[in-house]
Amino acid sequence: MNAKITVTDLNFFYGNFQALKNISLRIPENQVTAFIGPSGCGKSTLLRLFNRMNDLIEDIKLQGEILIDGKDIYSKNTDLIQLRKNVGMVFQKPNPFAKTIFENVAYGLKVNGVTNKAEITMQVESALTRAALWDEVKDKLNKSALAISGGQQQRLCIARCLAVRPEIILMDEPASALDPISTSKIEELILDLKSKYTIIIVTHNMQQASRISDKTAFFYLGELIEYGETNQLFMAPKIERTQNYITGRFG
């Protein structure tokens, strides 16, 4: 198994508060890895370390190492723009910009310096197709992105992320704000995408994690409690705390 992301002895602090304790794990390439755990366990925090979104917060401290493709992403020479091009993110609540559908998908391309109109148009169509949204919006690319449904908006956000051709996609509860049908479309999309991308998804929904992920990591109070094949973890977890969480007997 190729480890796309390797985390070693990671400790992470917000000010005096230690959000992550001694985390070590390897995220495999071209698979879906789910992070589960109760609120405040650190799963979203860890996710955001992979594209350095936590840099936006003042007074943080990171010990340990995060390697993507063998390279330390917190080294002094890391090109942040390149990192964020390579590691895309989809958020919990769909957040398309108040621009046209076309402009939304083209945004990342323009940020990364693509100016050729024909190139942009082609990439936009490609991204929307990969996000299974092209057929639904091809006739209204110039309409506002806010005029489509929530589920479509989320797929638009995924297209926006795909347009810059990342290798890794981070998803923070991408379907939690959506209705069941939109949710299942997103899940189908994720399964489709995993052959070409490495996907990490944070989710509160146990069934979702067991449906779509290959490996699952369970976090609790900043620690990695158990990490293994999804089928194994949901069939016969090795740690009692994991079992208590996934069967709902927590707290």
Partner 1 sequence: MNKYLIEKIIFWIFRIMAFLVVGILFWILAFIAAEGMQVISWEFIFSMPKEGMTQGGIFPAIVGTICLMIGSMLFAFPIGVMSAIYLNEFLLPGKLKTFINLMTDNLAGIPSIVFGLFGMALFVNKLHLGDSILAGSLTLGLLVLPIIIRTTETALKSIDDTYRHASYAMGASKLYTIKNVVIPMAMPNIITGLILGMGRVSGETAPILFTVAAYFLPQLPDSIYDQVMALPYHLYVLATSGTDIESSRPMAYGTALVLIFIVLICNLTANFIRSIKN
Partner 2 sequence: MRIIDKEIQEIKNEISEMFDLVQHQLARSLHAIIYFNLESAKEVMLYEKRINSQELMIDKACEQFVVRFNPVAVDMRFAFATFKINSHLERLGDNAKGIARFVKELDKGFDPQLLERLHLSDMIEIGLQMTKMNLDAYLNDDSSTAKQVFELDHKIDIINHKATDIIADYMKENLEEIKPCLALISTIRKLERVGDLNLNIAEEIVFYVDAKVMKHSKEFKLKK
Residues that bind partner 1 (CB under 8 A): 51, 53, 56, 58, 80-85, 88-89, 91, 93, 95, 97-99, 107-108, 111-112, 157, 160-161, 164
Q: Rounded to whole angstroms, how far apart are CA atoms 147 and 198?
A: 30
User: What does R_g of the chain's alpha carbons equal in angstroms?
Assistant: 18
Buried-state track 128-137, b at ≥16 Cβ within 10 A, e below 16: bebbbbbeeb
Q: Quick one: which of 19, 145, 189, 246 contacts partner 2 (CB under 8 A)? A: 246
DSSP state of 178: S
CB nearer partner 1, residue 154 or residue 230: 154
Q: Whose structure tokens read 């069967």?
A: 247
Binder of partner 2 out of 42, 108, 166, 237 (CB under 8 A): 237
List the 223-229 sheet strands across, edge first.
87-90, 168-172, 198-202, 32-36, 215-220, 223-229
Taking CB under 8 A as the criterion, the residue among 56, 118, 181, 235 binding partner 2 is: 235
Q: Does residue 168 interact with partner 2 by CB under 8 A?
A: no
Least separation in angstroms between CB 206 and partner 2? 7
Minimum CB separation from partner 1 for residue 31, in Å?
22
Site map for partner 2, 185-224, x if CB under 8 A? ---------------------xx--x--------------
* C-alpha span between 1 and 10 (Å, rounded): 22
Q: How far is CA 196 from the centre of its chain?
A: 14
Interacting residues with partner 2 (CB under 8 A): 206-207, 210, 234-237, 242-243, 246-249
